[in-house]
Structure 1
Amino acid sequence: RDTEPSAAIIDSQSVRAAETVALDSRGWDAGKKVNGRKRHIAVDTLGLLLVVLVTTASVQDRDGARPLISRLRRLHHRITMIWADGGYAGKLVTWAQERWSLNLDIVKRTDDSDHYVGDAPGLGI
């Protein structure tokens, strides 16, 4: 394998913040019912961390993905393909293609919540 990745997987995780964490750096993730922060991450196809962006938990996945993808593209020029779950669908796909010439492939979940439809290796980070 080339040492520089050509594909990535993006996802996010909301985590509870301690009471000592300043209120202006926390937010409410209504879907997960979490008051805290959100980690937006990009990994390569082996699961190795490429980029991390930390926001308030109230930031939607699509909104956090724009700065995440921008940083990813600036740091890893060879990346041309990104896989993501349905939370990233919509205008972000077009933006990634037009702005960065990236193919953002939305991998759909099947009825069996442990399986995805598509070619994404190891999605489910």
Structure 2
Amino acid sequence: MKGRKIHSLVDTLGLPIRLVVHSAGVQDRDGASLLFDKITIRFPWLKCVFADTGYNAQQTYEAAGANGLRLEVVRRDPNAVGFEVIKRRWVVERTFSWLGRNRRLAKDFENLASTLLAFVTLAAIQFGIRRLARP
């Protein structure tokens, strides 16, 4: 994308719980505090959050701890050769794949981050409704 990052907190099925869009100049570890902000008010049962190695920083652990969450960074096996499916991480990657199937989100057409967030939210609602409609 052109200068934007989307941080997504998803459940175990890959359905988004919280989305944050900001400029690409903000590091992942700083974006995590925006993601964790006020999350325990809406989802008080949430206790553990899995993240990839981009979020492996002291400030990310502090942001999670300040919101009553335990952060576990999912790492790749150091002995692995070639491609390897990383436990827990594929769930978020699948969510981004679902978002990419939406025509409006296939490329970065939006000028404002708030507009992009609105279309990502609409796409998430769409595949959430489709999942509910399945028999």
Q: How many residues were matched structurally?
A: 89
Q: In 2 relative to 1, CA 48–124 (structure 1 residues): closer, same or farther, beyond 3 Å?
A: closer
**Residue in 1 that maps onto 2:12:** 45
Report which of the two has the higher share of helix.
2
**Residue in 1 that maps onto 2:44:** 77
CA-based RMSD of the aligned residues comes to 1.9
Q: In 2 relative to 1, CA 52–95 (structure 1 residues): closer, same or farther, beyond 3 Å?
A: closer
1:90 deviation in Å? Answer: 1.9
Say if 2:40 and 2:68, in contact at 8 Å, map to a contact too. no
1:121 deviation in Å? Answer: 6.9
1:74 deviation in Å? Answer: 2.8
Structure 2 gaps, min length 5: 94-135
**Residue in 2 that maps onto 1:60:** 27
Q: Which amino acid aligns with 1:47?
A: G
1:124 deviation in Å? Answer: 4.9
Q: Which amino acid aligns with 2:56?
A: A
1:114 and 2:84 correspond = yes
For residues 72-105 of structure 1, the C-alpha deviation after alignment (integer angstroms, 9 at most, x for no partner) is 22321110010000011121124412x1221100
For residues 93-123 of structure 1, the C-alpha deviation after alignment (integer angstroms, 9 at most, x for no partner) is 24412x122110000023344322x5x3744
Question: 2:42, 2:35 → 1: CA distance?
Answer: 11
Q: Which amino acid aligns with 2:61?
A: V
Q: Which amino acid aligns with 1:39?
A: I
Question: 1:84, 1:107 → 2: CA distance?
Answer: 6
Say if 1:96 and 1:104, in contact at 8 Å, map to a contact too. yes
For residues 51-77 of structure 1, the C-alpha deviation after alignment (integer angstroms, 9 at most, x for no partner) is 111100111111001011113223211
1:45 deviation in Å? Answer: 0.5
Report which of the two has the higher share of strand.
1
* TM-score under structure 1 length normalisation: 0.62
Instruction: Percent identity, please.
Output: 33
